[in-house]
Structure 1
Amino acid sequence: MKKILYIVLLTSIMASCDSQKKAVEKKIKEVEKVVKEEVKSPEIPIDPSVKIGKLSNGITYYIKNNGKPADKVELRLAINAGSILEDNDQLGVAHFMEHMNFNGTKNFKKNELINYLQSIGVKFGADLNAYTGFDQTVYILPIPSDDEAKLDKGFQIIRDWAGNALLEEKDIDEERGVVLEEYRSRRGADSRMMEKYLPKMMFGSKYADRLPIGTEESIKNFSYESIRRFQKDWYRPDLMAVIAVGDVDVAQLENKIKKYFSDVPVSKNPRERKSFSIKNHKETFVAIEADKETPFARVQLMYKDREDATPTKTVLDYRNSIVQSLFTQMINNRLDELRNAENPPFVFGFSYHGGTYARNREAYQSQATTSADGQLKGLNALLEESERVKRFGFKKGELDRAKKNVMARLEKSYKNRDKNESGRIVGAYVSNFLDERPIPGVAWRFDMNKKILPSITLEEVNNVIQDYIYDDNRVIIITGPKKVVTEAQVLNALEAVKTKELKPYEDKEVAASLITNEPSMGKITGFSENKELSTKTFTLENGAKVTYKKTDFKNDEILFTAYSYGGTSLYTDEELKATSFANGALTDAGINGYTISDMSKMMSGKIANARPYIGGISEGFNGSASPKDLEILFQQVHLYFTALNKDEKAFKSSINKNKSFLGNLLASPNFFFQKEMSDFMNADNPRYTGFPSVEKYDAADYDLAYKKYKERFADAGDFNFYFVGNIDERKLARLAMKYIASLPGKNSNENYKVSDFRPIKGSHTKVVNKGKDPKSNVRIIYQGETEYDKKEALAFKSLGEIIGIKLTEKLREQEGGVYSSRTRGNISKMPYGRYNFSISFPCAPENVEKLKNIAVKEIENVVKNGPTDEDLSKTKKAQILDHKESVKRNRYWLNLIKNIDYMKNDASDTMNFEERVNALTKADIQKVAKKYLTDGYILGILNPEK
């Protein structure tokens, strides 16, 4: 086809008059160049650091040596089979198979697998996990690699997952309850509406009726034969890949794969692994669905491609993907400006061209979250912005900024390429196997983008949308708490936008720098060093303190935080209530005369962000920056102290978005339950501001909130600033002297005030009836005031993890009554010493009392007898394993060095953490259980409406 077009084009050109000879020759060369590039475009290479192979039975494997974190390997078993392959009698069994692989295999009988992994510090759910989709099933296993026996066990586990599930009838029947609870937990307004619109979205395809969770009837009643047939048909080597990434030699990992997977038998007469697509349709499908329990109103537009997508294989394919990504970034920048307008048409809005539920079919998609009655307004805004691009295209400035952003993100990835954790790498290889996504490595991407981006023209990006929008294969989905839009209005909007008078986008020039008046340079007046923590602190002449720790965990990362005591604790009760729902909108006004849209443009190609906050007992900042852009972060901090804009329109925009987002929130049973429990536990709190409401947002006092903000950030002298990462110490000192030492310092040295109010404790019950789905939620809370003790705090945290292990065993595995439960124990010292122990789980209404009693009985058992040696050991190993990885992250150290000052923590605690954990005894756990969990509990229950 390309050759024919080439000949036709050449013939047309050569027929031109002689006066155009030079133009013709030039055009011929251009065409020849394009054709050669298209025909001979090289394939995208595979990252040479990844070893890919295939066993004789057809299993593909990917291996990469990666030393971060140390002594750990991320294992994955990817299966190119999911719910789309289910027969009519197998609805949900693809997902059920995933469950059964944790409930009895050849080498791990029921519950032995989870028990073993917990014994070596691997947590069920948080670490050990799996997921099932329409077209794939993926098993996830991180395993310690510092012990050959543990590594072998890891490979034995994923080998068993590859076809050794026992699928015993008793185990299947017991697991039905767990899967039904997972199904129950997903039920709600959104799932009910999705079931109605999915046949239009996925017209003419199996995707419309093969949701991975299945149906309630099928989960209860599928035959043993049907799940065994699914395993036999689809858990086979030619559809499998084993991925191993971690701190082990490649040759050793390859030997393990060959040892454990070479014996997976090849299927005789295998079923065809078909690919499924969706049908094209000339008409526009409109689905308008309403459910009074949905918390949000949404608009979705889909222009489905007419043909199936092909994998990105060649450099030309890759170049096309870059063009599309630039388009996506640029249109979303415009949509962001719309959402920040005085009267925004939506709360959130975005557009992109990408995948649908159907593996091989993509679509141009736009989505918006709107107010409950603002769906038509949101739809029109999405349509108009796409039409504006179609008619007038983008501006050169928009493209230039988009290119800068692409390169900035890639440069950051490139600089950190040897510092990535294995868990962040392994997913790319899973996607390569399942979806044929390229894996050339970040170095290739960085280099190729440097070459490609300059050649991409504005015309190319402007033409992208011409292939996206057409009148067939369209689907518009409107969902919300009520039907306020008609199909006729939707169809009229689609037609009206074609002829509507629109103006080209105005791309206003912005300044090159946030700073308009350079601050004067201040001085460093003091210096100290903590050699144990490898931190340094200098005091500035205004009293501010800057503490930093230079690390090599990431090459292109500096994390930042700051605090000063006070916060809203220094507000009167009246001031607190008047400003509570205004504070979050303050920074939407921008700084130094620049709007947040201006700031976004100015930040193109730069990575730096400082975010101020006013909390309950402190105010401060959080942020991060690339080392090369650290000065911009300092500029932002300086200006948030001195030049926060006051803009009524920007404030109104933020309040309007919050009110729209709030909309129907309390119609959701879960949100309503949260509100009712919070109200119940704070009934006598004079400073309780409660759940947001339209009335509270309308009453928010912008003037007072702005005034109080200026008060809280008037004195930089009582702030502490913290930086962790790849720090140039001289540069940090210079920037601190220029942008922080130059700030006002009043030596106020404020502290926070502690309210006299204390939440309820002891025995109380709150029952809430909300929602029509047959599902309940249970909360058990022990709380009260105490004197903080760090040994008790560690024991209490460990108690939470021990009870969590027991509840997984009892409520999930034995009773089949929950899909998951959450348990947490915490003792905090600020703003006063207090403890909180909570258990929560969803379940069937008829099981509430039984499961609640089981949970309480487990607590009573620890109070009476203490934990088992086995459970305490599991908890210790999990904590030590987590800590071992955490100490290699900048975020851990940032929080640590801040809290040494903020919470008056002991600096040596982190150095002897493993020793402190190992020193915990059963008596320590039993002691805190007796002390804190014997004085009654607060019981909260959400039941469906009667």
Structure 2
Amino acid sequence: MKTKISLVFKTFFVCCLLATFTTNAQTKTLENQTSSYIPTDQLPTSPEVKIGKLSNGLTYYIQNNGKPEDKVELRLAINAGSILETEDQRGLAHFMEHMNFNGTTNFKKNELVDYLQGIGIEFGADLNAYTSFDQTVYILPIPSDDPKKLDKGFQILHDWAGNALLTEEDIDEERGVVIEEYRTRLGAATRMQSKYLDKIAYKSKYADRLPIGTKENLETFKYESLRNFQKDWYRPNLMAVIAVGDLDVETLEKKIKDNFSDLKNPKNPKPREEFGSENHEETFIAIEWDEEATGSQVQIYYKDKGERKKTKTISDYRDNMVEGLFDQMINNRLSEYSNKPNPPFIYGFSYKGGIIGNKDAYQSFAQTNDTGQLEALKTLLEENERVKRYGFKASELKRAKKDFLARLERQFKNKDKQESGRIVGRYIQNFLQESPIPGIEWTYNFAQTELPKITLDEVNALINKFLHNDNRLVILTGPKKEGLKKVTEQEVIDLLKSVEKAEIKDYEDEAVREHLMPIKPKKGSIIKKEVSNEGQINETTTLTLSNGAKVIYKKTDFKNDEILFEAYSYGGTSLYSDEVLKETANANRGLFEAGIDGLTKNDLNKLMSGIIASVSPFIGNLSEGMRGAASPKDFETMFQMIHLYFTKLDKDPEAFASYISKQKAFLGNILSNPNISFSIALNEFTNEGNPRYTGFPTEVDLDKANYDLAYEKYKERFANAGDFNFYFVGNINEDKIAELAETYIASLPGNSEREMYKTTTFRPKSGAHEFIYYKGTEPKSQVNLTYSGEAKYNVNDARAMNVLGEILSIKLIEKLREEEGGVYGAGARGSISKLPYGRFNFSISFPCAPENAEKLSQASIAELEKIIKDGPTETDLNKVKKALLLSRKDDLEQNRFWLSTIKGADYNQSDINNVINYERNINALTTKDIHDVAKKYLTGGYIKAILLPEE
């Protein structure tokens, strides 16, 4: 369970509220819809979905979808969130969401989670909910091949719609859990946000209605306040039930009618008001800094003066396409800055989208170094101004159209292979935001027809609507530390004025060659073809090439437009001396900031317009290799990239210097975050005495990174393609892959020499140790309890250790969350690894209040000790078994799973047939197996590591 605001803090822009206040993609995303092109101005609705409304006003959406098999994704969407709270209800929209898991008419406290776990539905991973300003959504995947389970699923949804018991005892017990969730939000981002939120949400109720609420109200609210919120807003005319999955529409519709027709609206319902923010003539400027801020950001909002325009007609939809092309082109330009020497920011982007309620804005964002905020702001302003004065180039629009259509084509080709969990979201947003759902077939056909007609003048005209000096907001956030001068409001004002008058040159769109590899290499040959496990689900084909390389592939039909790729060779940095390792550790990733075969990264981005193919090399501790993905139509391009990364990675000191500059900016203040600092310090503690431990890089370390040496070692690591295995999984044409393998892989330099990684004699700390770390000002702690050490690898023990972690996670939630009310979340993980040497690791972790850290640590160990002493219960073991088997059923239809499995079998030198025997092996696990592994590995003491706030 989570508040929607929490999703924001988990995205890559911690301080950026863009995703919190809106779903821009909801009103303009063209990738997620479906139907055939109708030449009328009325926007069609996808024929794949059945939409209806019950007499009580409840709306429903139903779609039959067979991927994954035997599962239906159920959602209950409520058009009510924290914006509707009265002053005495602050935080109660979200609290109400919690209470639906803590006692309803048909499921008393804890019975709901217990029942769902019993049929394999995991709490958190599968079963969940979220609350935002304007909506609350409950999430429930349920098996569709068992009528009783399906009926229970709809009964649960019905209970959520209005049958929460809300007893005083249950409410009081849940206060602690929600306060712990509130505690997880505390930190620099929240503190800074609180100081400028009222400028984003100017004269708006949104500024005072963050979904998590206030600690004071969560602790003291009256029971009746919560009950009133439920009574007022949990009503059928504000609800939608969405059911998408492997079941016929008629059955699902009957279930909805049977279960929800009895819901009643209040006799005198409160009006569901819409809220917005007011316009302001001046430019607002907010400059905030904090001792624990991990980075510096710049945000610019050009707020629309009117309400957001809803997409109702084909003309509206076409307008969205034009905006999408604008976004693509401006961001193509901004991304070029990141790849230049001395970049003004780590990354930057702009787009037109929502910010709050029904308000849109043109927004620009950048993350930069501590002293670079004004330079980053200047760059964003100048690029907007450059477009305003000169517009985009025809060549830019041509590339943007290619990319736009390529993405749509991929989705169109995969339209019959979409997972139900990816489909339900569009119907939720259609109900809550009135976002369009014409369907991918209609969208793709429409784009093919209309994209060529969109002119450069149309796109260029948008900037004049976007930019204006009133209703504008500039936000700068960053770290507060000694020696750093805070940017002043006057400096920002002066910069805004100077850019308007500055001499700005037009953008030069430098031409690049048309082909990645104009001349193909001389072919090698396939000397052997072998089919393994023929006719079984783990069937693979291996091509042994003339240079010694092996190409292993699995043809699947899980996605029509997807091929995934990995390659590896043993060795990696384990073969480096201690000195070479330390000189190159901070340089290896920077190697790939250079281009290939004379093409810079910016050149590559231009050349690859409309092409869906990617390859990323890596050098790891034990191996070197590559990863990638491609559309079948661009399969050859991926092979060309593989060949070029082996033979023609450019050496570009300027690109490397740009990488180091960005790393300094990104990592410079990351230790200010207490949790990150704690994690790094704990790693240093456990690696004390390790001569090969490189740790967290300082600015000095980054300056010492030896690019020349790293480049030479890269060439050495990739000199012998014959030592590599190349894996491909997806919609593969077998004749095509053979031809491409001969052309681009067999032609690489290679021989019969084989390398193996080296294992050092150092072993991290294990056994009984205590590590207490003080960092941060907020009253929040983190607890990590770890058992680890050497162990002879045993596949059965490894399986049991993993299951033990899952079982203990269930017990920790029951004890620490439901009984103690001391945590929001807690978990345990267990593993036994084979490489580079046999080793076990079992960890328990959770955040909590500092005053509870020791007590909850002991409670956690006590739960584990019960298992060590008596073993787990059959009930808990069966819960985990069912969850694992349900998850595996979905995995078996995923290319990513098979790529990992096939490559992993070779890499870890394990039996590929384990995948066939998985169900049998899981079902064969007994409580004795879990008991034995707990006694065998978890009695030698543990490392207790606790983060506490500074005293």
Secondary structure in structure 2 of the residue aligned to 1:63: strand
Secondary structure in structure 2 of the residue aligned to 1:199: helix
How many angstroms apart in 2 are the aligned matches of 1:473 and 1:243? 38
How many angstroms apart in 2 are the aligned matches of 1:444 and 1:367? 33
**Is the aligned partner of 1:554 residue 2:559?**
yes
What is aligned with 1:437?
435
2:574 aligned to which of 569, 578, 586: 569
How many angstroms apart in 2 are the aligned matches of 1:299 and 1:81? 32
TM-score of the two chains, using structure 2 as the length reference: 0.95
What is aligned with 1:924?
929
Checking the alignment, whether the CA contact within 8 Å between 2:813 and 2:827 is kept in structure 1 is no
The one-letter amino acid paired with 2:422 is R
What is aligned with 2:145?
146
**Is the aligned partner of 1:624 residue 2:629?**
yes
The CA RMSD over aligned residues, in Å, is 0.8
1:527 aligned to which of 517, 526, 529: 529
**Is the aligned partner of 1:848 residue 2:891?**
no
Secondary structure in structure 2 of the residue aligned to 1:418: helix
How many angstroms apart in 2 are the aligned matches of 1:782 and 1:388? 58
How many angstroms apart in 2 are the aligned matches of 1:52 and 1:562? 46
**Is the aligned partner of 1:735 residue 2:733?**
no
What is aligned with 2:83?
84
CA shift, 1:444, in A, is: 0.7
What is aligned with 1:251?
250
CA shift, 1:902, in A, is: 0.9
TM-score of the two chains, using structure 1 as the length reference: 0.95
CA shift, 1:910, in A, is: 0.6
What is aligned with 1:514?
516
How many angstroms apart in 2 are the aligned matches of 1:259 and 1:795? 43
**Is the aligned partner of 1:780 residue 2:789?**
no
What is aligned with 1:101?
100
What is aligned with 1:447?
445
What is aligned with 1:680?
685
Given the superposition, is the C-alpha separation of residues 287 and 41 from structure 1 closer, same or farther in structure 2, using an over 3 Å criterion?
Answer: farther
What is aligned with 1:26?
none
How many angstroms apart in 2 are the aligned matches of 1:400 and 1:571? 46
What is aligned with 1:496?
498
The one-letter amino acid paired with 1:334 is R
CA shift, 1:517, in A, is: 3.5
Secondary structure in structure 1 of the residue aligned to 2:416: coil
2:660 aligned to which of 655, 658, 661: 655
CA shift, 1:748, in A, is: 2.0
What is aligned with 2:319?
320
Secondary structure in structure 1 of the residue aligned to 2:417: coil
Q: Deviations over 1:268-292 (max 9, x none)?
A: 1100100001000001110111101
How many angstroms apart in 2 are the aligned matches of 1:602 and 1:351? 22
How many angstroms apart in 1 are the aligned matches of 2:440 and 2:843? 43
Give every structure 1 segment of 4 or more consecutive aligned residues whose post-TM-superposition deviation is greater than 3 Å.
none
**Is the aligned partner of 1:671 residue 2:691?**
no
What is aligned with 2:343?
344
What is aligned with 1:793?
798
How many angstroms apart in 1 are the aligned matches of 2:457 and 2:441? 28
Secondary structure in structure 2 of the residue aligned to 1:191: helix
1:744 aligned to which of 739, 749, 753: 749
Query: 1:671-820 to 2 correspondence within 5 Å?
Result: 671-820=676-825
The one-letter amino acid paired with 2:526 is I
What is aligned with 1:237?
236
CA shift, 1:820, in A, is: 0.3
Secondary structure in structure 2 of the residue aligned to 1:538: strand
The one-letter amino acid paired with 1:942 is L
Checking the alignment, whether the CA contact within 8 Å between 1:863 and 1:930 is kept in structure 2 is yes
Is there any run of 5+ residues in structure 2 with no aligned partner, and where?
1-38
Matched residue pairs, number? 906
How many angstroms apart in 2 are the aligned matches of 1:833 and 1:757? 13
Secondary structure in structure 2 of the residue aligned to 1:290: strand
How many angstroms apart in 1 are the aligned matches of 2:42 and 2:493? 43
Checking the alignment, whether the CA contact within 8 Å between 1:41 and 1:316 is kept in structure 2 is no
Q: Deviations over 1:38-81 (max 9, x none)?
A: xx961211100100000000000000000000000000000000
**Is the aligned partner of 1:376 residue 2:381?**
no
1:580 aligned to which of 567, 585, 591: 585
How many angstroms apart in 1 are the aligned matches of 2:721 and 2:43? 52
Checking the alignment, whether the CA contact within 8 Å between 1:778 and 1:941 is kept in structure 2 is yes
2:643 aligned to which of 621, 624, 638: 638
How many angstroms apart in 2 are the aligned matches of 1:511 and 1:734? 25
The one-letter amino acid paired with 2:369 is S
What is aligned with 1:270?
269
Query: 1:279-294 to 2 correspondence within 5 Å?
Result: 279-294=278-293
Q: Deviations over 1:133-158 (max 9, x none)?
A: 00000000011111000000000001
What is aligned with 1:485?
487
The one-letter amino acid paired with 1:489 is E
The one-letter amino acid paired with 1:730 is D
What is aligned with 1:34?
none
Secondary structure in structure 1 of the residue aligned to 2:89: coil
Q: Deviations over 1:914-945 (max 9, x none)?
A: 00000000000000000111000001100000
Checking the alignment, whether the CA contact within 8 Å between 2:615 and 2:642 is kept in structure 1 is yes
The one-letter amino acid paired with 1:728 is N
How many angstroms apart in 1 are the aligned matches of 2:449 and 2:357? 31
What is aligned with 1:24?
none
How many angstroms apart in 2 are the aligned matches of 1:418 and 1:703? 49
The one-letter amino acid paired with 2:517 is I
What is aligned with 2:872?
867
1:608 aligned to which of 613, 618, 628: 613
CA shift, 1:372, in A, is: 1.3
How many angstroms apart in 2 are the aligned matches of 1:928 and 1:648? 52
How many angstroms apart in 2 are the aligned matches of 1:162 and 1:853? 39
CA shift, 1:747, in A, is: 2.0
Secondary structure in structure 2 of the residue aligned to 1:787: coil
CA shift, 1:515, in A, is: 1.1
How many angstroms apart in 2 are the aligned matches of 1:441 and 1:685? 56
When structure 1 is superposed on structure 2, of 334-343 and 516-525 the one drifting more is: 516-525
How many angstroms apart in 2 are the aligned matches of 1:493 and 1:456? 35
Secondary structure in structure 1 of the residue aligned to 2:176: helix
Q: Deviations over 1:67-101 (max 9, x none)?
A: 00000000000000000000011100000000000
Secondary structure in structure 1 of the residue aligned to 2:867: helix
Secondary structure in structure 2 of the residue aligned to 1:453: helix
CA shift, 1:907, in A, is: 1.6
CA shift, 1:731, in A, is: 0.5
**Is the aligned partner of 1:886 residue 2:910?**
no
The one-letter amino acid paired with 2:162 is G
CA shift, 1:310, in A, is: 2.1
The one-letter amino acid paired with 2:412 is Y
Checking the alignment, whether the CA contact within 8 Å between 1:66 and 1:422 is kept in structure 2 is yes
CA shift, 1:512, in A, is: 1.1
CA shift, 1:695, in A, is: 1.1
What is aligned with 1:395?
393
Q: Deviations over 1:841-886 (max 9, x none)?
A: 0000110111001100011100100000110000000000000110
**Is the aligned partner of 1:163 residue 2:168?**
no
CA shift, 1:234, in A, is: 0.3
CA shift, 1:494, in A, is: 1.0
Checking the alignment, whether the CA contact within 8 Å between 2:523 and 2:746 is kept in structure 1 is yes
Secondary structure in structure 2 of the residue aligned to 1:281: coil
CA shift, 1:484, in A, is: 2.1
1:460 aligned to which of 458, 472, 477: 458
How many angstroms apart in 2 are the aligned matches of 1:600 and 1:320? 26
CA shift, 1:518, in A, is: 1.9
Secondary structure in structure 1 of the residue aligned to 2:830: strand
**Is the aligned partner of 1:589 residue 2:588?**
no
How many angstroms apart in 1 are the aligned matches of 2:165 and 2:252? 27
What is aligned with 2:175?
176
CA shift, 1:317, in A, is: 0.2
Checking the alignment, whether the CA contact within 8 Å between 2:808 and 2:827 is kept in structure 1 is no
How many angstroms apart in 1 are the aligned matches of 2:255 and 2:40? 37
**Is the aligned partner of 1:44 residue 2:43?**
yes
How many angstroms apart in 2 are the aligned matches of 1:201 and 1:377? 23
